[in-house]
Structure formats: structure tokens, C-alpha cells
Amino acid sequence: MLQSATREACLDPSLRRERAYHASFLIAAAILAVSGLAGIGRAAVATRRLPGLSQDPLLEGRRLAALGRHAEAREEFLRTLAVNPWDVSLTEEVGKSLLLSGDPGNALTVFREARAQRPRSARLHAWIGRTLFLQGKPDEAEEACRVALSLGPQDAGALQVVGDVLIDRDLYPQAVDVLRRSVAADPTLASAHNSLGIALALSGRPLEAVPAFEAALRLDPALGPGNRDRAMAAAHQTGAHP
């Protein structure tokens, strides 16, 4: 050992520099190789070539939902959670996707699991409220959204659900006030504009309702004219004339 150390100490300085350069080259090559593999992995996930990874079923679920194949989309969304259940942001997105795909039961479970990890997220409480309202539970929906508003007073989604609950209780003027706050907080929320139009029509102000319905349809043509027509008909039945 002593002889080896002595020989190493006596090496020509240029030889030592050459060995150092060689070692540095090997380290750099290893780093580049790892980075390249990571990039390939990300690309494969994005293009759905690695079916075991969490992004693959999520992308497939989105594609199927966009095609209107909601039952198949639901299965892909549930697969997403099975692969990566600990990602809270992903869990929230899957919950929304399940809700929009017509599966409020599983959506509620997903939102509650995400809320357990982020109990002070106003948005999660609002999504729970929306889901409960769609399940025909307005009291529980309002309670969840009141919690959301205590955490984020300008949460547009929570305000909309509270407005929808007030419409459900025939408290139209109060609903108008809350829904105006909702569209002010987020002017891009089509469903809030739609609910505002309904509340205005049913509170005897159908002329004011028209711009709200137009904004809703402009933001989301999928809403269709059905709610507008029903609200206008109900307004006429209550004696309100444009």
C-alpha cells in the first residue's frame, strides 16, 4: 500500500491531470445519460406509450370524455388514481373529470380524500359542495360552500353553488346577489352566468336575464338554450313580462 501511494505521489503532473479529465468526462456522460432517459420517459408518458404510468390513463380519460364516451373515460380516471393516489393536484383533477363525466359518487370520494390532505383548500370544499348539490343534497352543499367561503371569500365556484341552493329554495333575489358576486369573481365561469340568468328570470327580471344567458352560451356553447327557455317560461308563468 505504501509503495502504491508513493508511486501515485510521484506521477507526472500531466498524467494526474489526464486522469482527472477522464474521471470528469465519465461523470458528465453519466449525468447526460440519466437526463436523456428522464426526457424519454416524460415524452413516452405524454404520448401514452407507457401504460403503467399515471399520466397515461389520465390523458386517455380526457380524450374519451371529449368524445362523449363518459363510461370509458370514468374507468381511465379511476385507473389514474390507482396508479398515483398520493398526488393531491392529480386527485383533484380526476375528481373534476369524474364529476363532469357523470359520476358524482366517485367524484365525491375523490374530493374528500384530497380534502383530507389539504383541509384548508377553498377550491376543494367548493367542489365537494357542487358535487353534493348535483346529488340532490342542497343543505350539505351549502354547508360545504360556506366553509369554502370562510377560507376564500371570493371563491366563484362556492358562490355559484350557494346561489344555486338559493334558487332551489325559491329565494331568487338573494340568489341574484350571490351570483353577481360569483361572476364578478370569475367572469369566465359559464355556469355562474347561466345560474344568474335563471335567478334573474325567476325574480321577475327576464330582460336582465338575457345578457347573462348570452354570456353563458358564449363561454360554453355546450350549455345549450334549454335552461334559458325554461327560466323564461317560468318567469312568464309568475307574471313577469319582458
Question: Domain ranges in the chain?
Answer: 49-119, 136-242
Q: Which of 210, 29, 146, 185 is nearest to 196 (CA)?
A: 210
Query: Is 96 or 132 the better-scoring residue by pLDDT?
Result: 132
Q: Give the predicted TM-score (pTM) of the model.
A: 0.66
Domain 49-119 has CATH 1.25.40.10: yes
Which of 42-56, 121-135, 167-181 has the least mean pLDDT? 42-56
pLDDT (0 to 100) of residue 35: 46
pLDDT, tens digit (0-9, with 9 covering 90-100), for 115-154: 888 899 899 999 999 999 999 999 999 999 999 999 999 9
**d(C-alpha 27, C-alpha 20), whole Å:** 11
pLDDT band of residue 38 (cuts 50, 70, 90) is very low
Q: Do domains 49-119 and 136-242 have the same CATH topology?
A: yes
pLDDT of residue 64: 83
Burial of 145 (0-12, 13-18, 19+ CB in 10 A): buried
Task: For domain 136-242, give the CATH superfamily.
Answer: Tetratricopeptide repeat domain (1.25.40.10)
Helix spans in 10-87 (H): 13-46, 55-66, 70-83
Measured between alpha carbons, how far is 51 from 66 in angstroms, rounded to an integer?
Answer: 20
The residue ranking higher by pLDDT, 234 or 94, is: 94
Average pLDDT over residues 166-188: 97
Q: Which residues contact 149 (CB under 8 A, 6 or more apart)?
A: 122, 155, 158, 159, 162
- CA 239 – CA 242 distance, rounded (Å): 10
pLDDT of 193 above 90: yes
Q: Give the Å distances, CA to CA, from 39 to 25, 43, 46, 57, 231.
A: 21, 6, 11, 19, 53
pLDDT top residue among 190 and 12: 190
Give the C-alpha separation, 240 to 117, whole Å. 48
The predicted structure's pLDDT at residue 225? 62
Other C-beta atoms closer than 10 Å to the C-beta of 156 total 22
Is pLDDT at 110 greater than 90 in this prediction?
no
The pLDDT of 8-14, averaged and rounded, is 52
**pLDDT given for residue 37 in this prediction:** 43
For residues 166 and 174, the answer to whether their CB atoms sit within 8 Å is: yes
State mean pLDDT over 50-69.
71
Q: Say what the pLDDT of residue 47 is.
A: 38
Helix ranges, 67-189 (H): 70-83, 88-100, 104-117, 122-134, 138-151, 156-168, 172-185
Alpha carbons 66 and 74: distance in angstroms, whole number = 12
Q: Which of 196, 202, 186 is nearest to 223 (CA)?
A: 196
Higher pLDDT, 8 or 83: 83
Choose between 176 and 111: higher pLDDT. 176
Query: How far is residue 52 CA from its own chain's centroid?
Result: 22
Does 49 have pLDDT greater than 60? Answer: no
